[in-house]
Amino acid sequence: MTLPTYDEVIAKWDPVLGLEVHVELNTKSKMFCSCATEFGAEPNTQTCPVCLALPGALPVVNEKAIESTILIGLALNCKIAPYSRFARKNYFYPDMPKNFQISQYDEPICFDGYVDVEIDTEEGPKQFRIEIERVHMEEDTGKSLHVGGATGRIHGADYSLLDYNRAGIPLVEIVTKIVPGTGKYAPEVAKAYVAELRDILRGLKVSDVKMEQGSLRCDANVSLKPIGSDVLGTRSETKNVNSLRSVERAIRGEMIRHAELLNDGKKVKQETRHFQEDTGLTRSGRSKEQAEDYRYFPDPDLVPVTPSSAWIEELRATLPERPSLRRKRLKEEWNVPDKEMQAMINADVLDIVEATVLLGADPTKARSWWLGEISRIANDQNIAVADLSITPADVAELVALVAAGELTDKLARQVVEGVIAGEGKPSEVVAKRGIKVVNDDGALMAAIEKVCTEQAETAEKVRGGHLPAAGALIGAVMKETKGQADAAKVRELLLKHLGQG
Amino acid sequence: MIQLTAAQMADALAKDETTSVELTQAHLDRIAAVDGQVKAFLHVDSEGALAQARDVDTRRKSGEKLSAIAGVPLALKDVLAQKGVPTTAGSKILQGWRPPYDSTVVSKLKDAGVVIMGKTNMDEFAMGSSTENSGYGPTFNPWDLTRTPGGSSGGSAAAVSAFEAPLAVGSDTGGSIRQPAALTGIVGVRPTYGAVSRFGLIAYSSSLDQAGPFGRTVLDTALLHEVMAGHDPKDATSINAPVPAVVSAAKSGDVKGMKIGVIKQLQGEGYQKGVQARFDESLKVLASLGAEIVEVDCPSFEYALAAYYLIAPSECSSNLARFDAMRYGLRTGDVEGASAEAVMSATRDAGFGREVKRRIILGTYALSSGYYDAYYGSAQKIRTLIIQDYAKAFGKADVLVSPTAPTTAYKIGEKVDDPMAMYLGDVATIPVNLAGICGMSLPAGLAEEDNLPVGFQIMAPAMQDQRLYQVGASLEAALLSQWGAPILSKAPALGGK
């Protein structure tokens, strides 16, 4: 029994996908109480009677979370329900304080939408439409840390630690309809969908969308049917896949695992699987063959959500440009190669570069500052580019100073350091540090003559036509002028001085 | 002094004829003298009460403007969270729990300078009609210590009836204020759903629960009602509207020209003879005061009890899931190697009483997939029909009336093994809860056959709570002049009286 190759799988089987994405909203307070939502706080410091489910405590909906959810629905081309309700999903688990989760059941706030994604294929770019079944609100659970035991799961643990800081953080669940017809591209389509979703959510500013911190989590449902068949196969659900790459790997892995079972005439078990980063494989979780009975019913502590159509339209008017369209537009306007475009997206500097360009900076220069020097400093300090104190206005000013010949690139880097160190705007840093390009030919000539005297041998080589030797002299002149000279200018004057101009 | 009404006590305080400390101490002495027999209290907070009393006395001396009942002592049903004071909801599963926060009702009482003397006994999680389901033993009816005071707010009702407190707070999910008020000869009001915040009220059935006031007179009850009610942003179901003018209604009580509807389905067969007689007599009194008596038909009320016993258990099966030994309260079975599930299960087995378990199981079943539509779904439809019946009836009458309970107080133990018989005692009170409207019970005299108090129930549309007080005060005044003395003066003396 050998594992089939991916090519063997797709030669025989047709994958059907279903994706559930959970997004933690970035509201300041929790879904049903006023506790803070900061990531990484000391355990159980962001809790209150409501999110600890103390006897008598009651939930009250965070209006901001509803607004964010409607925005998401609108961005995903959904219809917005004029009347929807919260429901209780009942099951026992120690990290769920009420032993029910407030969620939405048969009355989600947004439904019937779609997202178009594009992937590169052998035949060129190809578009797929992912239909959205529903977008609904719910609250997150707390976190358990199971100590001892081999699996890190509750069974077999010596004891468990509970942190309720996450309990009650607003979550939005985005559920696709079944996604057929992706064929061999299923893993890429799934990845592109999650990436597009992430960009849309980022553009809406409703979530941090950090997969590695769990603020965006994907559950991937996969089943296989024989090519040409209309009958859906049994699905598995792979939980909490926490990177874009893992989405692709998890689906590919599940397709291969299913095909192996089916090729051997075995059945795929309907179950939850857990993705393992290290191996790229999934392991069995909870069996779902006996569907759990969550005894959903409308939460009597909460009133129905009834957004007015005026409010919905108001929110629709604030929707930002669709990320895919925006990327296409910026790529054309700025004339950026694919690779550079991708680098900007990966470094998360697209917004900031655009803001800089809008302030009049040349797109190529703006891009290279943000992607180069500034990103490097951010990396060194281990923070996001956006969290540095340098602004698009600073960079636009910097680009203008360089263009005007008032700064060299090298000097400009010192200015960037100064701005980030809090010394003020670029012009202020220039003034404070006394940075200026030495353009005075007389001063430059004095330095050139001094260097040529000190390094007479090298100067002679240049004079004799050996131009590469000029580099050492230029370097020395730059040092002499404390880096404030324009290197191109120095080269020009030096070569002229040595009869090579 | 303890024989005074709350309004008279407030008056004496305002005139400097007494102090809150003196008044509170007198009630604490009364509790010490008689509560061994009545067992109305689960916890008496003497120190805390006297500290509150001293504080309100100081505030009064400094000239601060105080609420109408500032300095008057009160008994609080143990279903409401009070910071630092044991709060159990009558259940063993919460034994020893001291809330780190105040319920909104308690905050409002404290702000108003009302002195909270302690927590009163109740059926566990308010599930019951006799206070026999308390995890801490029953409360006894001051009228006859072999009988129940009703329930689930039996402790609060008994405390007021036994002059241990002039005022008390209860909660009413299916009649738990009105029925014990009827059985102990006092006044009790279930306000409109959403009128009093449920924040900090330990939930039994969220869509039916409502806290409300007990007093010995209609005016006393109104004074407390006014302090408790009002919009609360911490309760999503709280009504954002001004509190109805209940106090002025209680002061002006007048029924001339009002239409009073008698509900055909809530009288006659199944109602004790003496209960029906007192009810009919009260109707005559109201007619003589100038009210027009009409009969109204509420055909869906026949199904109210069934709908209630599906909705309330369904909600409670979910509301009580949080009692899992993880964060507070009882924890048993936590031995080496026991799983979290085993500890939860052992704790719930040990901590919950029989009736609570019965209702959790019932509700879990009613909500389970495949049965949801037949049980919970149908019950919700009946609820809609009952709301429609009321709407129609209120089209014909300003208020509706019935006997509060079909019988007077029954013997302790009499119905404890027959849940259906016990449930039937709530047949006249439950429709109010299902419709979310308001209701009052006030004494209509004693039943001839057993000399026990009979309650007269008044019902009004949502947010028309003032009508209860208007009609109640009018009837109360007329009956008082007939009797010559308050009904409680006919109760037998307790040990320390």
Q: With an 8 Å Cβ cutoff, is A59 touching chain B?
A: yes
Nearest CA distance, B259 vs chain A (angstrom)? 34
- The residue written with tokens 């879990």 in the block is B364
Band of pLDDT at residue A286, cut at 50, 70 and 90: low
**A437 touches A411 (CB < 8 A):** yes
Q: With an 8 Å Cβ cutoff, is A327 touching chain B?
A: no
* Inter-chain CB proximity B321 and A160 less than 8 Å: no
* Inter-chain CB proximity B322 and A97 less than 8 Å: yes
Q: With an 8 Å Cβ cutoff, is A295 touching chain B?
A: yes
Nearest residue in chain A measured CA to CA from B79: A56
The Cα-based distances of A226 to A130, A230, A257 in angstroms read 21, 9, 15
Whether the per-residue pLDDT at B439 is higher than 90: the answer is yes
Single-letter amino acid, residue A400 = A
CATH 1.10.10 maps onto chain A at 441-497
Q: How far apart are the first and last CA of chain B?
A: 12
pLDDT by residue (tens digit) across B131-190? 999 999 999 999 999 999 999 999 999 999 999 999 999 999 999 999 999 999 999 999
Q: What is the pLDDT of residue A501?
A: 67
Mean pLDDT of all residues belonging to chain A: 90
The Cα-based distances of A479 to A229, A401, A418, A444, A460 in angstroms read 75, 22, 20, 12, 20
* Inter-chain CB proximity B236 and A58 less than 8 Å: yes
**A189 touches A317 (CB < 8 A):** no
* Inter-chain CB proximity A55 and B207 less than 8 Å: no
Nearest residue in chain B measured CA to CA from A94: B326
Chain B residue numbers with beta carbons less than 8 Å from the beta carbon of A60 are: 233-236
Nearest CA distance, A92 vs chain B (angstrom)? 8
Nearest residue in chain B measured CA to CA from A95: B326
Q: Which B residues 93-112 touch A at CB under 8 Å?
A: 94, 97, 99-101, 103
Strand partners, A283: A274
- The correct CATH number of A441-497 out of 2.60.40, 1.10.10, 3.30.479, 1.10.287 is 1.10.10
Contacts 24+ apart (CB under 8 A), A180-183: A180/A14, A180/A16, A181/A128, A182/A15, A182/A17, A182/A128, A183/A10, A183/A14, A183/A15
Please give the average per-residue pLDDT across A165-175, as a whole number. Answer: 97
* Mutation for testing the B interface, residue in A30, A54, A292, A293 having most B CBs under 10 Å: A54
Please give the average per-residue pLDDT across B425-432, as a whole number. Answer: 96
Q: With an 8 Å Cβ cutoff, is A88 touching chain B?
A: yes
Phi, psi (deg, nearest 5) at residue A291: -55, 130
DSSP tag of A385: G
Please give the average per-residue pLDDT across B316-336, as a whole number. Answer: 94
Torsion, Cα B6 B10 B13 B15, to 10 degrees, reads -130
Phi, psi (deg, nearest 5) at residue B466: -60, -25
- The larger pLDDT score, comparing residue A216 to residue A289, is at A216
Q: What is the pLDDT of residue B496?
A: 46
Nearest CA distance, B86 vs chain A (angstrom)? 12
Chain A residue numbers with beta carbons less than 8 Å from the beta carbon of B326 are: 94, 97, 162
List the single range of A268-277, A443-452, B31-40, B165-174 with lowest mean pLDDT.
A443-452
Q: With an 8 Å Cβ cutoff, is A56 touching chain B?
A: yes
As annotated, the active-site residues of B are 77, 152, 176
* Inter-chain CB proximity B367 and A303 less than 8 Å: no
* Inter-chain CB proximity A295 and B200 less than 8 Å: no
List the single range of A111-125, A432-446, B284-298 with lowest mean pLDDT.
A432-446
B89, B317, B328 ranked by CB distance to A54: nearest = B328
Distance of CA B395 to the CA centre of its chain: 28
* Inter-chain CB proximity B322 and A53 less than 8 Å: yes
* Cβ neighbours, 10 Å, residue B450: 17
* Inter-chain CB proximity A59 and B103 less than 8 Å: no
- The residue written with tokens 């009170």 in the block is B429
pLDDT by residue (tens digit) across A193-212? 999 999 999 989 999 998 88
Quote ipTM for the complex.
0.95
Q: What is the pLDDT of residue A291?
A: 65
pLDDT by residue (tens digit) across B369-385? 999 999 999 999 999 99
Cα–Cα distance for residue pair B247/B86, rounded to 1 Å: 32
List the single range of A172-186, A315-329, B280-294 with lowest mean pLDDT.
A315-329
Q: Is A131 helix (H, G, I), strand (E, B) or coil?
A: strand
Nearest residue in chain B measured CA to CA from A149: B337
Q: What is the pLDDT of residue A439?
A: 67
Nearest CA distance, B156 vs chain A (angstrom)? 19
Cα–Cα distance for residue pair A496/A487, rounded to 1 Å: 14
For each of the domains in chain B, give its residue range(s) and CATH number, in order of start: 6-301+383-490 (3.90.1300.10), 303-381 (no CATH)
Burial B400-428 (b: 16+ CB within 10 A, else e): bbbbbbbbbbbebebbbeebeebbbbbbb
- Per cent of chain B over pLDDT 70 is 99
Q: With an 8 Å Cβ cutoff, is B203 touching chain A?
A: yes
Whether the per-residue pLDDT at A83 is higher than 80: the answer is yes
DSSP tag of A56: T
Q: With an 8 Å Cβ cutoff, is A300 touching chain B?
A: yes
Please give the average per-residue pLDDT across A154-179, as a whole number. Answer: 91
Whether the per-residue pLDDT at B270 is higher than 90: the answer is no
Q: What is the pLDDT of residue B497?
A: 42
Residue A479 makes CB contacts below 8 A (sequence gap 6+) with: none
pLDDT by residue (tens digit) across A377-424? 988 988 888 788 899 999 999 999 888 878 888 888 989 999 999 999
* Inter-chain CB proximity B235 and A60 less than 8 Å: yes
Q: Which helix (H) or strand (E) holds A120?
A: strand A110-121
Whether the per-residue pLDDT at A151 is higher than 80: the answer is no
Burial status of residue B496 (CB atoms within 10 A of its CB: 0-12, 13-18, 19 or more):
middle
B237, B327, B364 ranked by CB distance to A97: nearest = B327
Q: What is the pLDDT of residue A348?
A: 76
**Secondary structure of chain B as H, E, C letters:** CCCCCHHHHHHHHHCCCCCHHHHHHHHHHHHHHHHHHHCCEEEECHHHHHHHHHHHHHHHHCCCCCCCCCCCEEEEECCECCCCCCCCCCCHHHCCCCCCCCCHHHHHHHHCCCEEEEEECCCHHHCCCCCCCCCCCCCCECCECCECCCCCCHHHHHHHHCCCCCEEEEECCCCCCHHHHHHHCCEEEECCCCCCCCCCECCCCCCCCCEEEEECCHHHHHHHHHHHCCCCCCCCCCCCCCCCCHHHHHHHCCCCCCEEEEECCCCCCCCCHHHHHHHHHHHHHHHHCCCEEEEECCHHHHHHHHHHHHHHHHHHHHHHHHCCCCCCCCCCCCCCCCCHHHHHHHHHHHHCCHHHHHHHHHHHHHHCCCCCHHHHHHHHHHHHHHHHHHHHHHHHCCEEEEECCCCCCCECCCCCCCHHHHHHCCCCCHHHHHHCCEEEEEEEEECCCCCCEEEEEEEECCCCHHHHHHHHHHHHHHHHHHHCCCHHHHCCCCCCC
Please give the average per-residue pLDDT across B295-306, as a whole number. Answer: 97
Please give the average per-residue pLDDT across A25-44, as a whole number. Answer: 94
Whether the per-residue pLDDT at A476 is higher than 50: the answer is yes
Residue A221 makes CB contacts below 8 A (sequence gap 6+) with: A17, A18, A19, A20, A235, A236, A237, A238
- Per cent of chain B over pLDDT 90 is 94
**B187 touches B457 (CB < 8 A):** no
Whether the per-residue pLDDT at A358 is higher than 90: the answer is yes
Could you tell me the two tokens for B282?
A: 């009260």
Phi, psi (deg, nearest 5) at residue A460: -65, -40
- The larger pLDDT score, comparing residue B418 to residue B24, is at B24
Chain A residue numbers with beta carbons less than 8 Å from the beta carbon of B199 are: 56-58
Band of pLDDT at residue A1, cut at 50, 70 and 90: low
Chain A residue numbers with beta carbons less than 8 Å from the beta carbon of B323 are: 55
Cα–Cα distance for residue pair B128/B121, rounded to 1 Å: 12
Whether the per-residue pLDDT at A222 is higher than 90: the answer is yes
- The larger pLDDT score, comparing residue A134 to residue B421, is at A134
Band of pLDDT at residue A288, cut at 50, 70 and 90: low
Q: Is A349 helix (H, G, I), strand (E, B) or coil?
A: coil
* Inter-chain CB proximity A55 and B89 less than 8 Å: yes
Mean pLDDT of all residues belonging to chain B: 96
- The residue written with tokens 């007269």 in the block is B456
